[in-house]
Every structure is written in C-alpha cells, then in structure tokens.
Amino acid sequence: MDDIFTNIKQSFRNGGIPLQLIYINVGVFLIIRMFGVICLLFNIPHISLLDFIELPSSIPDLLRKPWTLITYMFTHYDFFHILFNMLWLYWFGKIFLQFFNARQLGGLYILGGLAGALFFVLSYNMLPYFQSAAPYSALIGASASVMAIVFAISFYRKDLEIQLLLIGRIKLIYLALATLIIDFLAITSSNAGGHIAHIGGALLGILFAAQIKKGKDFTNPINKAVDWFVNLRKPKSKMRVTYKRSETDYEYNERKHKQNEEIDQILEKLKRSGYQSLSSEEKKKLFDASK
C-alpha cells in the first residue's frame, strides 16, 4: 500500500501540470462519492460535501462561501462529466504545451474557471430568464477551464489541424467554434449554467490568445498569487547561513608557504627511507599535493 501511494506521489510531482490537474479533479471526485457511500452504509444523516465546494449563483451565498470560486472548477459528481472533462484536458493540454509553458497552462486553467464563474453568476442574477432559479442553482466542473485552454490554442494557431475519428483531419478552430455555437444554442437547457460557464471560459481563452500575440501574458499575476499562497504554507527554514571570510593575499601566501615546506620535508623523507616510511597523514598530504 505504501508503494502505491509513493508511486502516486512521484507521478503527481513528475507528471506535469495537465496530469496534476487531473489528479486533483479525480481525487476530489473520489472523496465526494466515497463520503456519500459511507453516509448511506452507516445511516448517517446525509451531508453533501457539494454544498461546501460548489459555486452558488446566489450572490449572498457566494459572499458567505467565496472559496467556491476556485473549488467548483475541481469538482465533479457524475462519472461521465469528469471523464470527458479530463480527456479534453489531457488531449488539449498536451497540444497547448507545444506552444506555451506549464505555468501558463495552470494559470489559464484558473482564469478560465473564474471567467466561467463570473458569466454564470452574472447571467443568473441579471437575465430575467434565470432570475427565478438564482436562489438555488449551483455550478460544478472543470468545463470552463478546459474551454479556455481549447480556445486559447485554437485562436493562437488558427491553422492547427487535429485528427478526429470518423471525420478525419479538421482545423481545431472549427471544432472550437462548433462547440461555442452548441453551447449558445443550449443556453436555456437543463444544464444552462454549464453552457454559460463554457462561453465565459471560451472568451477568456480567445482573449489570452489575442494578448499573447501582443507580448502580454495575463497569467503571470495569477501564477504569482499561487506561488505566494504555496510559499505561505511552507514552514520557514530555521537554518542559519554563514559566510566564510575570504583570505587576504598575505594569509594565502603564508598558508601556501607552510604547505610547500611540509611537502619538501615529506619528499626528503621519501628519498631517504622510501614510501613505506611515510605515515598515513604524510601519504595523504603527498597525494593531495600531486593533484
């Protein structure tokens, strides 16, 4: 069992950002589902972990649970929901890393999720069609984050082609635009919140591509914020670092002179009595001097 957890830790550390994000999403999914099973087996009054990590559309609820702006984008409940999101994250994450670095991928994942959250909350509180559902609606899933990655690479390299089963080679931007149209047409469906979040993530990805072509990378601030948070949780080192004062020319010359005198004495002894007459310390000094 220890070997399994050790291998998972090593895989997480060495797998790169796409795999790390997948591990986090899968880990949260398993915790939620196993907690629900345990509650049922022991007849524990149902306590849903989703209530604490899903993103509410109600602004008063969101103000009470602001952390859900982040936690929701790592949260899934249905198996096929997480399966397709993680497959897209893995495939398009690998394509993204052909042109950008891992930090940009991680930063874009978070920013895409935040953009999806913003679109979701604003839509449910400002559009008359959704206002009646705003008090009890909530959002989970990495879809907005994944859409940001897909649209970023699609609009950065509009000539990029991918191979699709049964369809053949197609430009990635056509697939992205088709997805965006489908999301817009399904905006009043039973999964309205998810489709709205997709649109927010997609627009953020397009903005990233446009800005990066101008030499501006707006993932830097979010990455610095993540670095600050991670370093904040690390224990401060109690190690004291001392620096040895460098020798003066006089000290150096005096030390070298003494060493030369010792070597001359050893060589004289070697000439008189042979190598076997030397002590271990004299042999070591002679060996060091020969280097």
User: What pLDDT digit, counting tens, does each position of 30-66 carry?
Assistant: 999 999 899 889 888 767 889 999 999 999 999 999 9
What's the pLDDT at 146? 97
- Residues in the chain, overall count: 291
What's the pLDDT at 86? 96
* Three-state secondary structure call for residue 21: helix
Q: Which two tokens stand for residue 279?
A: 């002590």
131: number of CA atoms within 13 Å, CB side?
5
Whether pLDDT at 28 is above 80: yes
Lowest-confidence segment of 144-153, 196-205, 250-259, 270-279 by average pLDDT: 250-259
Predicted confidence band at 271 (pLDDT cuts at 50, 70, 90)? confident
What's the pLDDT at 81? 95
Average pLDDT over the chain reads 87
What's the pLDDT at 280? 79
238 vs 92, higher pLDDT: 92
CB atoms within 10 A of CB 32: 17
- pLDDT, one tens digit per residue, over 67-90 is 999 999 999 999 999 999 999 999
* Dihedral sign from CA coordinates of 75, 101, 181, 170: negative
Whether pLDDT at 140 is above 80: yes
DSSP code at position 278: S
Rounded to two decimals, what is the model's pTM? 0.76
Predicted confidence band at 153 (pLDDT cuts at 50, 70, 90)? very high
Predicted confidence band at 240 (pLDDT cuts at 50, 70, 90)? low
Task: Please name the residue that has the structure tokens 């990378």.
Answer: 217
Whether pLDDT at 235 is above 80: no
153-169: average pLDDT: 89
243 vs 63, higher pLDDT: 63
CA distance 199 to 148: 9
Whether pLDDT at 10 is above 80: no
What's the pLDDT at 44? 82
Closest CA to 188 of 199, 174, 178, 201: 199
Q: Contact, 155 vs 210, CB < 8 A?
A: yes
* Three-state secondary structure call for residue 56: strand
Lowest-confidence segment of 9-23, 62-76, 176-190 by average pLDDT: 9-23
Q: Contact, 142 vs 76, CB < 8 A?
A: yes
What's the pLDDT at 239? 60
What's the pLDDT at 72? 97
The helix (H) or strand (E) run that includes residue 55 is strand 55-56
* Three-state secondary structure call for residue 49: coil
> 26: which residues sit within 8 A by CB, 6+ positions away?
82, 86
Q: Contact, 54 vs 138, CB < 8 A?
A: yes
Whether pLDDT at 2 is above 90: no
CA distance 46 to 38: 10
What's the pLDDT at 257? 67
DSSP 229-259: HHHHHSPPP------PPPPPHHHHHHHHHHH
CA distance 86 to 71: 16
